Amino acid sequence: MNIRILEQFLRSCKHSVFLLVTVVLMMAIIKPCYAEDKVVLIAAKGAGIKSISNRDIRRVFLGLKSADSELVNKPVINLYNRKLYEDFLKNVMYMTEGTYKRKIVKRIFRNGTEEIKEIEKLNELNKHLTSNIGDISFVYSDTVEKMHNIEVVKVLW
């Protein structure tokens, strides 16, 4: 009788271990699908930008002057990662790419403002921000570690 109980216990343990391993593997596969990276607003070290509101970030990226900080000069669109750019437009600007581009073109033609610079490579973005103190852009938080003389101004999400 004891042998049968032991055999049943071992069988049930095999199934439990199999289920546990399966669940852990599925969690490892599924987690990257829904995990979100933090997105941060960045500027060159020493720019002196202490705080900036989401409303003001929106104003700056629409080509207007910053109301919160006189130290913020110009925005730079980071096109290094297309998904990041689209998420920034959706979560901060509350618009699609088409709507955003139309608003920028209107502002350029109506007010004569400059076009907002778009950069596609991280090293070029890094070089631009360090040579133009006060300019701001957005990147994933883990990207900041790869950049030199750049500081996080604000965590966007």
pLDDT of residue 32: 55
Q: What DSSP string runs through 12-43?
A: HHHHHHHHHHHHHHHHHHHHHHH----EEEEE
- The pLDDT tens digits for 7-46 are 777 677 776 767 666 767 677 676 555 445 899 999 999 9
Buried b (16+ CB within 10 A) or exposed e, 51-64: ebeeebbebbbbbe
Cα–Cα distance measured from residue 156 to residue 141, given in angstroms and rounded to the nearest whole number: 10
Q: Provide the Cα torsion 109, 74, 42, 157; round to 10°.
A: -40
pLDDT of residue 138: 97
Token digits of residue 115 = 């076009």
CA 43 to chain centre: 14
- The pLDDT tens digits for 81-123 are 999 999 999 999 999 999 999 999 999 999 888 899 999 999 9
